[in-house]
Structure 1
Amino acid sequence: MDWFNTAFWANRPGAYDVWRSIYPPLSFVFLDLASLPGCYRDSPFHARDCDWVGRSAIGALYLIDVILLWIAFRRNDRRTAI
């Protein structure tokens, strides 16, 4: 839910003065680009079902993380990488 609540505020004004966010501004730029703005009109709870771009980005980032970890572990010790 952290993704969708933050993306909710990335798609509307007031992230720092209303929501009192501590996230850096670059996070809001990324979330604004990686979300569907029409899904964040009502609430972040509605966006979980509507924003397929956000769900895909979460899955893609997780997959990239697993691949990078495997590469790092493989470079360190091929025998125990998996």
Structure 2
Amino acid sequence: MEKYGYTASGANGRNPRMLKSGEQDDAFYADLWEQITAGDVWEAELTNQTKQGELYEVNQKVIPVTNTRGNITQFVAIL
């Protein structure tokens, strides 16, 4: 995360929304949320921005994490 302007400790546990560039429309994020809240893995190439506001392309994957009952407890984003 340091190459994006964040330390590992400063980024851990934070919402990936902090990297949002504004390049993707609301429908893009609605699709993301629809997929991950259904328990599916979401993956796409998108434009994010660094803490300093520089844009960069990234292939991002968001994985829902479930408990032993199958309930989603959190999401893991991999850049």
Larger Rg: 1
Say which structure is richer in helix: 1
Please tell me the TM-score bracket, short chain as reference.
under 0.3
Greater relative CO, 1 or 2 (CA 8 Å, sep 6+)? 1
Say which structure is richer in strand: 2
TM-score scaled by length of structure 2: 0.27
TM-score scaled by length of structure 1: 0.26
